[in-house]
Amino acid sequence: MDEIIRESIESVEAGACSVHVHVRDENGFPSGDRGQTEKVVKALRDRFGGDIHIDGEALFGESFEEMMEPVTEDFYESAAVNCHATFCNGLFLWKSFLLFDNLGDYAGLQCTSR
């Protein structure tokens, strides 16, 4: 995580206003470990406060709601969501619509059709 933190800080100090974070495990594989995610986000928030946009992965969890927790719990301002990465059925799409519909205009996202 230290490398991700260091490179993110260097990028912002060089002028970036946003970073996209892929938290990794000790072997370098993508990880949904909340403790590691919090470590990266906290280091960036401690250094830059709200002056940085943090975007990350929303690919881990047993449900769509769990998968979106990094966004809904304010770890990330945004995250790319790939419905086929975790849930390959229509239920995922319906649950994603319901979640964003209930959130309304959350993080700049809106559901406009039913």
Task: Determine, yes or no, domain membership for 66.
Answer: yes
Global pTM reads 0.69
Number of domains in the chain: 1
Q: Is the pLDDT of residue 69 over 60?
A: yes
Task: Determine, yes or no, domain membership for 101.
Answer: no
Task: Determine, yes or no, domain membership for 106.
Answer: no
Q: How far is CA 36 from the centre of its chain?
A: 13
pLDDT in tens, 74-95: 888 888 776 555 444 445 555 6
Phi-psi category of 107—alpha, beta or left, where left has phi over 0 and alpha has psi -120 to 50? left
Range of the domain at 66: 2-87
In the structure, what pLDDT confidence band is assigned to residue 101 with cuts at 50, 70 and 90?
low
Task: Determine, yes or no, domain membership for 113.
Answer: no
Task: Determine, yes or no, domain membership for 39.
Answer: yes
Task: Determine, yes or no, domain membership for 19.
Answer: yes
Task: Determine, yes or no, domain membership for 100.
Answer: no
Task: Determine, yes or no, domain membership for 114.
Answer: no
Count of C-beta atoms within a 10 Å radius of residue 104: 9
